[in-house]
């Protein structure tokens, strides 16, 4: 069954619940479904969870030579793995390479998995490390990356660039490639440390505490980075905030308050 009860990449709350019911033989925690969508199917209980019995079964099958079982094991985690590498490596192709390498590494080292965390947690950790290694290698060759064009006031606080009144962007607009590309671009424009917290907290819906644990930083560091990440994303998405995402109008009236 694996991370998301055998679903293709995107787990819905509904399906996760259905999947959980199917695993009723195993002892279950009662958890509330995430307010948004938990695409990797992880529970809100976070990093302390144990490996699921069905994951363990699949792992054992892989180790005895039934390699097809690995595909079933990993498929529900693919999205989380890709999100983890993309959080660190802006370039989609690099992120895919790192994700693939991480999954292959997990395959090679599957026997070393101790079952003291969920399989997806272990896999995502490998992916994060893989992406970080790749990033360090890149940095040796390139000059300082990442535009950090946020303005700071005298006290080092992020000052919003724009005060346009948001018109609610309906989630149907996400079907437009343009909006998705802009979201990706906006995410890529953040520095890695800001991108990481945004992906963990707002994309993957981990709590602030879980995010802090995963990144090995304090809660207040997470909060400070989240502030800048979110405000920067908002400024990056500003063109279109006056409604042109839904109406398709191209001109945009930037607003200054004073």
- Interface residues with other proteins (CB under 8 A) are 9-10, 12, 36-37, 39, 62-63, 65, 67, 70-71, 75, 78-79, 82-83, 86, 92, 96, 99-100, 103-104, 107-108, 110-111, 153, 155, 157-160, 163-166, 168-169, 171, 174-175, 179-180, 183-184, 187, 198, 202-203, 205, 208, 223, 226-227, 230-231, 233-234, 237-238, 241, 253-258
How many whole angstroms separate alpha carbon 24 and alpha carbon 89? 38
Shortest approach of other proteins to residue 214 CB, angstroms? Answer: 16
Farthest-apart Cα atoms in the chain, separation: 69
Alpha helix locations (H) across the chain? 13-22, 53-63, 68-74, 78-88, 92-108, 119-141, 177-188, 192-198, 208-215, 219-236, 244-247
Beta carbon nearer to other proteins, 27 or 156: 156
Residue nearer to other proteins on the CB measure, 3 or 179:
179
Chain center to CA of 242: 28
Comparing CB distances to other proteins, the nearer of 41 and 117 is 41
Residue 177 Cβ, how far from other proteins at the closest point, in Å? 10
Residue 165 CB, shortest distance to other proteins, in Å, is 5
Task: Report the residue number, 24 or 155, with the smaller CB distance to other proteins.
Answer: 155
Show Cβ contacts of residue 94 under 8 Å, excluding neighbours closer than 6 positions: 85, 134, 138
Q: Quick one: tokens of 217?
A: 């930083």
Give the pair of three-digit tokens for residue 82.
């890709």
Is residue 85 within 8 A of residue 98, CB to CB? The reply is: yes
Alpha-carbon distance values, 138 to 86, 100, 215 (Å): 15, 18, 21
Q: How far is the CB of 203 from other proteins (least distance, A)?
A: 5
State the minimum distance, in angstroms, from the CB of residue 245 to other proteins.
10
Least Å distance, CB 156 to other proteins, is 10
Token match 């090679």: residue?
A: 108
| Residue 58 vs 241, nearer CB to other proteins | 241
| Residue nearer to other proteins on the CB measure, 49 or 204 | 204
Residue closer to other proteins (CB basis): 115 or 160: 160
In angstroms, the CA 217 to CA 201 distance is 14
* Contact present, 110 and 63 (Cβ < 8 Å): yes
Instruction: State in angstroms the smallest separation of the CB of 168 from other proteins.
Output: 7
């Amino acid at each position: 069954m694996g991370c998301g009860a055998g679903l293709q990449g995107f787990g819905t709350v509904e399906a996760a619940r259905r999947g959980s019911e199917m695993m009723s033989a195993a002892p279950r925690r009662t958890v509330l479904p995430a307010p948004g969508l938990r695409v990797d199917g992880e529970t809100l209980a976070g990093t302390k969870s144990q490996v699921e019995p069905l994951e363990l079964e699949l792992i054992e099958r892989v180790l005895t030579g039934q390699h097809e079982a690995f595909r079933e094991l990993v498929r529900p985690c693919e999205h989380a793995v890709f999100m983890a590498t993309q959080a660190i490596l802006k370039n989609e192709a690099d992120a895919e390479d790192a994700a693939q390498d991480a999954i292959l590494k997990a395959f090679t080292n599957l026997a070393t998995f101790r079952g003291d965390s969920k399989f997806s947690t272990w896999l995502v950790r490998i992916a994060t490390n893989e992406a970080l290694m790749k990033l360090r290698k890149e940095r040796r060759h390139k000059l300082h990356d990442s535009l950090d064009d946020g303005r700071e006031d005298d006290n080092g606080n992020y000052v919003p660039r724009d005060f346009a009144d948001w018109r609610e962007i309906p989630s149907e607009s996400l079907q437009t490639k343009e909006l998705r590309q802009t979201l990706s671009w906006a995410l890529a424009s953040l520095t890695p440390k800001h991108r990481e917290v945004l992906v963990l907290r707002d994309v993957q819906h981990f709590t602030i505490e879980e995010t802090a644990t995963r990144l090995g930083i304090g809660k207040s560091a997470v909060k400070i980075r989240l502030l800048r990440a979110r405000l920067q994303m908002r400024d990056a998405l500003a063109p279109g905030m006056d409604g042109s995402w839904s109406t398709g109008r191209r001109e945009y009236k930037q607003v200054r308050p004073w």
